[in-house]
Amino acid sequence: MVLKPTHAGLQRAAKLLRSGAVVAFPTDTVYGLGASADDEVAQKRIYQIKGRPVGMPLILMVAGQSQLEGLVHVDSRAEEMMRKWWPGPLTLILYAIGGGTLGVRIPKHKVALGLLRHAGPLMTTSANLHGHDPAMNAEEAATLSGVMAVIDGGVAAGGTASTVLDLTGPEPHVLREGAISTPELIGPPPPRTG
């Protein structure tokens, strides 16, 4: 089912998410798949839809920084990155409260933010079969078997996945360069010696 990005459409999508469905929606990078952050069964469905290896973690998307309280440790380094780049195409890997790590992001897209405000935090990944190009519009996202609804927000604006920055080590480390380049985030690499 394709939903319009209206108040009613977002409410319908949020209701589906709360009932355990996987929904596709536009972001500032590409179309994404989302499942409720507190529904592990729905999150497993994302892996099945994509054919994604279970060891590859999903990203937590939120509408505002306050939704991260109680979920991840936010230090001064993370605060600085959030202030500079959020909302936007930057995923931060932080220590999760309770152990392990978690990738988190606030997208800069009014439809994605509207959905997150209606549905609450979502575990997400790009809308595509594993190893294939991500969906750039609702029609492409709708071809994925098992997606209950697609919110049609037109063509995805960015076209490039988010940059993933790991802040769990002594130095920031770019795990995936995407819409924001490494020099923009953490400066140029040090000169080679020897």
Mean pLDDT of the chain: 94
Report yes or no on 152 lying in a domain.
Answer: yes
Q: Over 60: is that where the pLDDT of 40 sits?
A: yes
Report yes or no on 130 lying in a domain.
Answer: yes
Report yes or no on 71 lying in a domain.
Answer: yes
Euclidean distance between CA atoms 121 and 27, whole angstroms: 14
Report yes or no on 22 lying in a domain.
Answer: yes
CATH number at residue 21: 3.90.870.10
What is the residue range of 125's domain?
A: 2-175
Give the model's pLDDT for residue 188: 64
- Report the predicted TM-score, pTM, of the whole model to 2 decimal places: 0.92
Report yes or no on 80 lying in a domain.
Answer: yes
Report yes or no on 147 lying in a domain.
Answer: yes
- Using only C-alpha atoms, what is the Rg of the chain? 16
Give the model's pLDDT for residue 114: 97
pLDDT in tens, 119-131: 999 999 999 999 9
Residues 6 or more apart from 118 whose CB is under 8 A from it?
10, 11, 13, 14
Look at the chain and report how many structural domains it folds into.
Answer: 1
User: Token digits for 74?
Assistant: 């936010």
What is the percent of the chain where pLDDT is above 90? 89
